[in-house]
Amino acid sequence: MYPLLSIQNLSVDFLSESGNVTALNKISFSINSSEIVAIVGESGSGKSTLGRSVIRLVDSQAGEVIFNGKNLLDLSSTNLKEMRRDIQMIFQDPYASLNPRMTVFDTLAEPLLVHGLATKNTVLDQVNELMDDVGLDRRFIRKYPHEFSGGQRQRIAIARAIALKPKLIIADEPVSALDVTIRAQILALLLELTQKHNLTMLFISHDMSVVRYLCDRVVVMQKGKLVEEGQTEQLFSAPQQEYTRQLLAAIPKL
């Protein structure tokens, strides 16, 4: 049985004013079905670039991204579009990730209709079920994003991500823009939904306390390189690398 996602020697370079910058340097790791795997590291470590390169929002120069047995880097644009139905992304900023001109209903109904998972007769019921899943009142479906709080907007973004029943969700700092109380609620929701829908998640974060609560395994990145990988509790209790120890030492103590 092969992993759901296997990344092999993935490298990404950017051209900047100062020359060529290596954002990812031969990154290799895998994720099994139903796992929540964290990618952690300080700003500039390459976490978000990694997430975006998996779904080819960022071009890579070398390596392989094997998803469900197929190399995403070799797919044509048509085949890639079909594969993206199985990989959905939750972005950091719920204010920017939702179209301000679309109601909640339109936001959630559009992917269902485009991918043929709903008809005009069934789509309302399916949107209502998504609202139930993320803990929002069904009466809100005719409202626009500006009428919601940050936490509510992120719930809408999560509903959109799970609408197509994807095999993999990439969550890029999905709670970092929220206050502490709302952050805890969204994390609990993500954990509940991964269990309910048997989801696999690549969870990108710089917050080690969040990672310890949510994730099964942790991949530590520094300056575009993978420096350590392990089961969450094992890594927290006995980190092998000095950089990992520094990240853990930075967790606020209550």
Q: For 217-243, how does the pLDDT look when each residue is reduced to its tens digit (9 = 90+)?
A: 999 999 999 999 999 999 999 999 999
Count of CB atoms within 10 A of residue 85's CB?
A: 16
Domains of the chain: 34-46+85-249 (3.40.50.300)
The alpha carbon torsion through 79, 27, 158, 196 (nearest 10 deg) reads 90
Residues 6+ apart with CB under 8 A from 223: 25, 44, 45, 46
Of 5, 3, 1, 8, the C-alpha closest to 24 is: 8
What is the per-residue pLDDT for 1? 61
- Kindly tell me if the per-residue pLDDT of 160 is higher than 60: yes
pTM, rounded to two decimals: 0.91
Beta-bridge partner residues of 220: 40, 228
- Kindly tell me if the per-residue pLDDT of 113 is higher than 60: yes
Average pLDDT of the residues in 11-31: 87
Tokens linked to 183: 């952050």
31-41 pLDDT tens trace? 999 999 999 99
With vertex at residue 93, the alpha carbon angle to CA 90 and CA 96, rounded to the nearest 5 degrees, is: 100
Q: Between these two residues, 1 and 218, which has the higher pLDDT value?
A: 218
With vertex at residue 196, the alpha carbon angle to CA 194 and CA 197, rounded to the nearest 5 degrees, is: 70
User: Rounded to whole angstroms, how far apart are CA atoms 75 and 234?
Assistant: 37
- Kindly tell me if the per-residue pLDDT of 250 is higher than 90: no
| % of the chain at pLDDT higher than 90 | 67
DSSP 239: -
- Kindly tell me if the per-residue pLDDT of 254 is higher than 60: no
